[in-house]
Structure formats: structure tokens, C-alpha cells
Amino acid sequence: MTYTISVRALCEFTAKQGDLDLRFTPSPSAQEGMEGHAIVAARRRAGYETELALEGEYAELQVRGRADGYDSAANLLEEFKTYRGHLERMPQNHRALHWAQVRIYGALLCRKRALQEIRLALVYFDIASERETTLIEHHSAESLESYFNAQCARFIDWARHETAHRTARDAALEALQFPFPDFHSGQRELAESAYRTVRRGGALLAQAPTGIGKTVGTIFPALKAMPAAGLDRLFYLSAKTPGRRLALDALARIEGSPPQRSLRVLELVAREKACENPDKECFGESCPLARGFYERLPAARAEAVERALLDQTSVREVARAHQICPYYLGQELMRWSDVVVGDYNYYFDSSAPLYALTTSYQWKVCVLVDEAHNLIERARKMYTASLERTTFDAVQFAAPIVLKTSLARVARAWNEMLDAQTEAYRAYEQVPEEFLGALERSVAAITDLVAEHPTALAAELEDFYFEAMHFCRLAAVLDEATLFDVTRSATAHGASDTGQQVTLCLRNVIPRRFLAPRWAATHAAVLFSATLSPPEFHLDVLGVPQDSRRIDVQSPFSSEQLSIRVVRSISTRWRHRAGSVQPIVRLMAEQFAARPGNYLAFFSSFDYLQQVAAGFEEQHPGIAAWRQERGMSEREREGFLSRFTPDGHGIGFAVLGGAFGEGIDLPGTRLIGAFIATLGLPQVSAVNEEMQRRMEARFGAGYEYTYLYPGLQKVVQAAGRVIRTTEDCGVVYLMDERFAQAGVRRLFPKWWKVESAWNRSRNV
């Protein structure tokens, strides 16, 4: 069996040397890199060959790649590399990698054209000055052949190991058995649809009730389909930590005990959670775990891939044993794992590593998107950029003298924009050219400074630099899917005021254009959630192909298990909020008296929550009550949930759409009811009204896409905490007259049976 690898991947495996060095240095963007390559190639004489496709074999290893350019008259093979700043500051591990690549290309070209010798050149192109620095080596074909064979020999044992692993993995997956005696009701339908989608390719939007086992119901069929579909990787992506934990637990249950496991499962965690030395910088002279990283990496990598589960704990253990950075060991292991479990941003963000690896290595992948309704808001944030005036003023004041002029131009252009705006909020069709030009020039000035003095940026200036670069990149592709707006505080008067609260924002409204290439790079994608209704909303906003399959899985729960009671006599609109507190307190107490147990009460904001909780605790001190607080740590959240004990008694107060509104499991008598005192609609604001106008213009459903659908998703998710198994019984109070409206009720799950409750005369 042939194992195919790119020249770049081969050299990254065999030729990287020395320390891990991640000190920030300004590097050319991908676009600048392509433009730089084009400039260098255009300078070459007639007959110069570019983008030479080369390939060669060593035993069962097939090596492929494209060399940048060849001058046959001079017998000179060139590899172009773009950079900024001082070439001598380029890390040695980068230089070693570049020479390895051009030598491999030289060996392949000598083979292809029967050359006896060749000259090799690394051409370093300075993006700023457009100067070339050329380093040349002269080699015989024999010496390059020897070098090629040596690099391949270093990799061939690994390639054989990987080929054997892939064969064993696929055989094990074909024989994989469902880990339970039978499927839950509805779970089989989900699993069969997911299997067909992964086997054939394409996308599936699966709306399935909370509690049927969606995690196992998507992972198991995806694994079963991997061999027949020829998949290289499976990515399980979730918005929250509990979702990723459920996936790891499901994978462990599906595969059984460690001796039986054939999959390499990698958990990706954020850098701040994995870093062992947060007080040190990521380079050898500062952090001992970066020193000699690439010398110790091969042994660590070899040990890691022998472990069935590479969760955070396991990766850390391997990294500690070999004294290397656990975070970057995890980043390296992405290349050698079968299943990767991580946050949405690892595939969907603008700099997402899983997406970059998929496209670079041309992997055939399946992406499972857990609680996919959350992807809309998360993706919007990924492709939104903002600049705060108070932050900018502080940066300008403390900036080095060399940056004062460029930053002053930004300030003047910003002031002119504000002088023309009298209202507190305003949306613009585009970013003013003068401001954007000044900002781009300031970014260029900071880039030049860092290129000359890599340690010159203070933390505040560096943060501004990254934010400004992100802002400029998004401004370059601004269209109707993203709006540019300016928000200023009511106390800000005139551009001369310093310290005023002014925010410039490039705010993504419809992330479909950014996500569409991500979907296109997958062989298959399965998006699943209890709240994907209506599917057109998610297809339109997320950019999932319009021909995607759609299923609405029938619930295994009966309407007799859950009493849904709409309380029309309460209004939770803002103008009625103060008057709603007492009726809500009374209703909660009456229900608790009728059936004591554990309840969750959801509110639209922390302020509303505090008002009702304070009233309830004052009037009913004998009933245990606990509250969600702002910014709770993971331990504090666990403490909140730990109070929901079996057969316990009390009420937990939480914010709708927050940490306890979805993704938590309180089966049986740990939770017997919920009170939802809001429709969950986003707050009416100038920003949301502008988003509504954009949605209306694009889809003809501005109110629904901006307010109604996102709000009701939160309500259904929160209500879904009550019934988790076919044995559970409970009650949900929907406290607002608007829940009785037909347009709202059609978004409820089909199995809900809605009744009116507490329908006395209006008390607000």
C-alpha cells in the first residue's frame, strides 16, 4: 500500500530542528505571500518555469510537491520565501525547513530530467522593500538523491506504522458494535440519517429532541461510515466544555476498554488552559519546555500515538515525561489523530488550524457540529472586529515617538467621523476611506517597528495592533452581510472630548460567506440540535448548502410526561417587568407547594433574576433558593448544579441562554420543573434594529431571523432540561402572554401539549 505525503509535510516531520520560537514577528499574510511570489517570478527571464509539479518514490512512500521556479538555462531551481523585518532574525528551525524543502525538490527534479547536478537557491523576498536575498548551494544529483533517501528513511517507519494503523482502524470500525442493547426511540432515525450522509457525502441538518442521545447517535454512525467513505479524520466540534466531555465519554463507551481501542482521539484545549508556564514567553531562552522542542518532539509523538485517548490529562502526561510544551504537542498531534474533539473555532475561525490542515493536506473529513444553533452567534463573533476609543487614546499616549504621527492621523480621521455624527448610534454603508487609510498606515508603521525591534511593543499596543489588523482585513471584504457602525456614549459631545466611550464595529450579521468554504472543504457535515427550526433560517445564515438533507426526529417522550402551561396573565415586556415580579413569585410558590421538588427558574437578565429571587427569598424563606451569578467559574457552576440532588427541594435561579440553559443533564427527580419568564428575544436596540433591516432586505424575515427564532431556541433548550429520560415527568411554565400566539407556538416541539394556566385577571 502506497503512503502519499507532500514535500512540505515530509520536511516538517524530518527537518525541523531546535527550539519552539513563537515570539511575535510580523509575517506576510497569505495574500501578500502570493503577491510576493508573483513579483519574484515576474522578474525572471523568458523561459523560466514556475510551479513545477514533482514527485518521486522511496519504497512504498510517494512524495509530491510543487517547486516555485526553475531556470533551465542556468540550471537553477529556486524556492521563494516571503518575510518582513531582518532576515537574520528568522528562527533557525524555519531556515532548516526551507533548505530541506528545496533539496527535496532538487532531488525530484534531477530524477525527472536526468540531471547530473543542479544549483539550488532560497530566495527570500522582503515584502516591505521588495528586495531579494538569494542563498545558493551547488549539489550533485547523487548527493541530493542520498539526502532524499535519508529523509524518506527517517519517515518510512512512521509511514508504515501509520498505514498499519489506518488498516487496523478501518477494520475495527467496520466491526464496531453499538455500545447499548438497543437504540433509544428516535436515536436510530438520527443514526441512520447520519450514516447515509457520511457515507455518501453532503450535509445533514438534524433536529432531534434533548435527551435521546444525540452525541452517541451521531458519533457511532460517523465512525461506522469512515472506512467505506474513505475518511481521514472526524472532527467533533462543540460550543461548550460539557458538550466536548460528552463526546469524549461517548467515544470511550463506543470503543470499549483501552486494549480494544483502535482510534486516536485528541482533545483540543485552549492555550491558557494547557500552558504550564504562563509567566514565560514561548521561546527557548524563556521557557524550558520550548527549549529543544523539535529534538524531543519525535519521541513524545511516538509515545502519544500509542495512547488510545489523548485528552488534556494524557497529553500533559506525555509532554511532562519528555519536557516539552503540552499545548504545542497537542497542536502537532492534530496531524496524526483520527478523531479530534474541540471548540467550533478550531475549524470555523479565520485562522482555524483544523481547516488549514484539511485544505493543506487535502484530508477527507467529516465534521459533526454539536448544538449547531449556537454556531450562528459564535461565527458572528469570529468575523466581527471593534475598536474602542478609550483604548486607542491610551495606546496613542504611551506609544513610541516613531508611531506618534501615524496614530495622530488615525485620531484626526476618527474625530472627523464623530463630528459628523450627532446621534448615539449610526450604521454606515462603508468605513470612511480617510479613516481606513490612516488605520492601515498605522498598522504598517507598527509592523515596520516590530520588524526592526521585535520586543518594542507594550502589551496594550500589541493588543491594539492585532485588533486593528483584524479590523482592516474585515473592512477589505465589507458587504451587506457585515455592517459598520459607530456607538458613542450619551455623555460624549464633540471630537475633542478625550476618554469618551466610542466604539467602531465591523459587525458580522450573516456569517454564511465566511463559513461556506469550510462546508465545501468537508466530505460530510452533520449539524444537530434540539432547536434547528425552521431549517431555512440556519441554511440561510450559516451558508450550509441549500440541498442539505433535513430531518426532524420524532421525540421518544410523550405529551403526558411534560405539562406545558402558558401563563397569559403575566407579561415580561420591559414596561411590565416591575409589576410581573409579585405574580411570578406567587406562581412559583403555588407550584412548589403543590409538588415540592427541584426547579429551575429562567429570566432574561441578571437584573430581572435578582429582582424575582430577592422577592421570593423574602416571602418564602423556608424554600431553598440559589442563584446564578455573573462570571461564575467552572467550579462555581458545578456547585450550582450539585444542589440539584435526587429528591431534593429548592429553586435555582438562572439566566436564559446562559450556562444552565442548555447542555446540562439533571434526570429523574434532580429536576422536575422549570419556570421561564421571558421569550428570550434579544433586547430591542439600535444594533439589533439595524440587523433586522439587513435580514429583512436579504431574506424577507427580519423580525423572525433577528428576534423570534433566536429567542425561542433558548426557551425550548431551557424547557428541555426537565425531561431527560422516558421515565421523567415534569412541568414547564411559560410566563408571558405572547407564548399563546400562533406564530410562537408553531416553533414549539411537536410533541408538546400546551395548556393555559393561572388565567386569572391580569395582575400587571
Please give, one letter per residue, the 3-state secondary structure of 108-129: HHHHHHCCCEEEEEEEEEECCC
For residues 209 and 662, give the distance between their C-alpha atoms in angstroms, rounded to a whole number.
Answer: 12
For 556-586, write each residue's pLDDT tens digit. 899 999 999 999 999 999 899 999 999 999 9
The answer for residues whose C-beta is within 8 angstroms of residue 588's C-beta and 6 or more apart is 599, 601, 616, 651, 675
Query: What sign for the dihedral angle of Cα 169, 172, 174, 177?
Result: negative
611 has pLDDT over 70 = yes
For 183-213, write each residue's pLDDT tens digit. 988 899 999 999 999 999 999 999 998 888 9
Among the listed residues 521, 362, 338, the one whose alpha carbon sits nearest the alpha carbon of residue 9: 362
Q: Is 132 exposed, middle or buried (0-12, 13-18, 19+ CB in 10 A)?
A: middle
The answer for residues whose C-beta is within 8 angstroms of residue 496's C-beta and 6 or more apart is 415
Tally the C-alpha atoms within 13 A of residue 325's C-alpha that lie toward its C-beta: 28
Instruction: Give the architecture-level CATH label for domain 562-756.
Output: 3-Layer(aba) Sandwich (3.40)
The answer for residues whose C-beta is within 8 angstroms of residue 491's C-beta and 6 or more apart is 500, 501
Q: Is 306 exposed, middle or buried (0-12, 13-18, 19+ CB in 10 A)?
A: exposed
For residues 267 and 424, give the distance between their C-alpha atoms in angstroms, rounded to a whole number.
Answer: 45
490 has pLDDT over 70 = no
For 207-219, write each residue's pLDDT tens digit. 998 888 999 999 9
500 has pLDDT over 70 = no
**Distance between first and last Cα of the chain:** 75
**Predicted confidence band of residue 495 (pLDDT cuts 50, 70, 90):** very low
The answer for residues whose C-beta is within 8 angstroms of residue 639's C-beta and 6 or more apart is none
* Every domain of the chain and the residues it spans: 3-157, 182-381+513-552, 384-510, 562-756
| β-strands 754-756, 562-567 pairing | parallel
Helix (H) or strand (E) holding 360: helix 353-361
Q: Between the CA of residue 165 and those of 154, 254, 417, what are the distances in Å?
A: 18, 18, 61
User: Region 32-57: what's the mean pLDDT?
Assistant: 93
Give the residue ranges of DSSP H helices in 501-633.
512-520, 535-542, 577-594, 606-619
**Predicted confidence band of residue 686 (pLDDT cuts 50, 70, 90):** very high
Dihedral angle over CA of 331, 337, 339, 342, nearest 10: -10
Give CB contacts under 8 A, 24+ apart, made by 605-610. 605/655, 606/630, 606/655, 608/572, 608/577, 608/677, 608/678, 609/653, 609/654, 609/655
Cβ atoms within 10 Å, residue 298: 15
**Fold category of 3-157 in CATH:** Lambda Exonuclease; Chain A (3.90.320)
pLDDT of residue 260: 66
For residues 711 and 715, give the distance between their C-alpha atoms in angstroms, rounded to a whole number.
Answer: 7
User: Region 59-74: what's the mean pLDDT?
Assistant: 95
Contact 538, 731 (CB under 8 A): no
For 706-716, write each residue's pLDDT tens digit. 999 999 999 99
Residue 275 pairs in a beta bridge with none
**Does residue 534 have a cis bond before it (omega within 30 degrees)?**
yes
Amino acid at 652: G
Dihedral angle over CA of 295, 297, 302, 305, nearest 10: -170
Residue 754 pairs in a beta bridge with 564
Q: How many residues are recorded in the chain?
A: 764
The answer for residues whose C-beta is within 8 angstroms of residue 49's C-beta and 6 or more apart is 69, 70, 71, 72
**Predicted confidence band of residue 90 (pLDDT cuts 50, 70, 90):** confident
pLDDT of residue 494: 46
pLDDT of residue 219: 98
Give the strands of the sheet with 233-238, arranged side by side.
Answer: 309-310, 265-267, 339-343, 233-238, 365-369, 524-529, 202-207, 549-552
For residues 691 and 697, give the distance between their C-alpha atoms in angstroms, rounded to a whole number.
Answer: 10
Residue with cell 439566566: 655
Q: In degrees rounded to 5, what are phi and psi of residue 57? A: -120, 150
Q: Do domains 3-157 and 384-510 have the same CATH topology?
A: no
Give the residue ranges of DSSP H helices in 21-140.
30-42, 92-113
The one-character DSSP state at 700 is: S
The answer for residues whose C-beta is within 8 angstroms of residue 590's C-beta and 6 or more apart is 758
pLDDT of residue 18: 85
Mean pLDDT rounded to a whole number for the chain: 92
Homologous superfamily of 182-381+513-552 in CATH?
P-loop containing nucleotide triphosphate hydrolases (3.40.50.300)
Q: Between the CA of residue 470 and those of 226, 262, 395, what are the distances in Å?
A: 37, 41, 17
For residues 230 and 232, give the distance between their C-alpha atoms in angstroms, rounded to a whole number.
Answer: 7
Dihedral angle over CA of 404, 409, 412, 414, nearest 10: -110
For residues 134 and 80, give the distance between their C-alpha atoms in angstroms, rounded to a whole number.
Answer: 9
Instruction: Give the architecture-level CATH label for domain 384-510.
Output: Orthogonal Bundle (1.10)
Helix (H) or strand (E) holding 71: strand 61-71
For residues 714 and 735, give the distance between their C-alpha atoms in angstroms, rounded to a whole number.
Answer: 14
3-class DSSP assignment, residue 493: coil
Residue with cell 536575498: 133
365-400 burial, b if ≥16 CB within 10 A, otherwise e?
A: bbbbbbbbbbbbeebbebbbbebbbeebbbbbeebe
**Predicted confidence band of residue 2 (pLDDT cuts 50, 70, 90):** confident
For 347-370, write each residue's pLDDT tens digit. 999 999 999 999 988 999 999 999
Residue 652, C-alpha cell as written in the block: 435555582
For residues 470 and 100, give the distance between their C-alpha atoms in angstroms, rounded to a whole number.
Answer: 33
In this structure, of 99-103, 223-227, 407-411, 724-728, the range with the lowest mean pLDDT score is: 724-728
pLDDT of residue 26: 67
For 525-563, write each residue's pLDDT tens digit. 999 999 999 999 999 999 999 999 999 999 989 999 999
